[in-house]
Amino acid sequence: MREEKRSLRQQQIEAAAYEVLEAKGYGGTSMQGIAKQARASNETLYNWYGDKQGLFRALVTRNAEEVRSHLEAELQTDHDALSILGSLGPKLLNLLTGDRAVALNRAAAADSSGELGATLSRAGREAVFPLLEQVLLRARQEGHLRFEESGAAVGLYLDLLIGDQQIRRVIGRLPAPTDEFCEARSKRAVTHLRQLLGSQPYGDGHK
């Protein structure tokens, strides 16, 4: 009972943090601003999160956990690997270039200690990577793709899917992506991946 309420309150506070963060950027985001936005008190924020970095660490890990669980759910289906990629791609792109992810990346960029960046990367890319690896390995098993190093293949896929979208979002030069955009870009990534690594049309082009 008390646990539920506290968890709900934390969600509210973290939602408020995102609102301020998205509105004013990391530099313009203060603890008191978050507290006011959430109608909470400074004391509560510090009791729960320790300090400002602790609060952002919580945002990062919770957000990454959501990303990971989304993708893992997608992975449980027994569709063939490439169609998994087709439904997982847009979601991943959307999660990595959406407003929340951008706000967190900005926070990590501004954090001089580098700890937020480490947390963001560890809980983000480094958690997603093995999942994608599984998908690509399955695709290879099914005979749709051909590659030697799975790590390089995942890297190539991420380059094709994400490219420089994230950094351009982070410095404020791209609007939030639409669903259609994510869909189209994901399709393009899969198409190109098949052209580059597909076993059918092009033979093995690396060696």
Partner DNA sequence: ACATATCCGTAATAATAGTTACGGTTTCTG
Partner DNA sequence: CAGAAACCGTAACTATTATTACGGATATGT
Which residues form the interface with a copy of itself (CB under 8 A)? Answer: 24-28, 105-106, 108-112, 114, 116-118, 120-121, 125, 155-156, 158-160, 162-164, 166-168, 170-173, 191-192, 195-196, 201-207
Distance CA 56, CA 17 (A): 9
Nearest-10 crossing angle of helices 99-110, 81-97: 60
Q: What's the closest the beta carbon of residue 166 comes to a copy of itself, in angstroms?
A: 4
Closer residue to a copy of itself in complex, CB, 73/176: 176
31 binds DNA (CB under 7 A): yes
100 binds DNA (CB under 7 A): no
Q: What's the closest the beta carbon of residue 29 comes to a copy of itself, in angstroms?
A: 9
199 binds DNA (CB under 7 A): no
- CA 165 to chain CA centroid, Å, is 12
- 177 closest CA partner among 67, 70, 92: 92
Distance CA 63, CA 95 (A): 9
What is the contact mask toward DNA in residues 33 to 72, using x (rule: CB under 7 A)?
x-x---xxxxxx-xxx--xx--------------------
Q: Print burial letters for 121-159: b (CB count within 10 Å at least 16), e (below 16).
A: eebbeebbeebbebbbbbbbeeebbbbeebeebbebbbe
113 binds DNA (CB under 7 A): no
Contacts with DNA by CB under 7 A lie at 1-2, 5-6, 9, 28-33, 35, 39-44, 46-48, 51-52
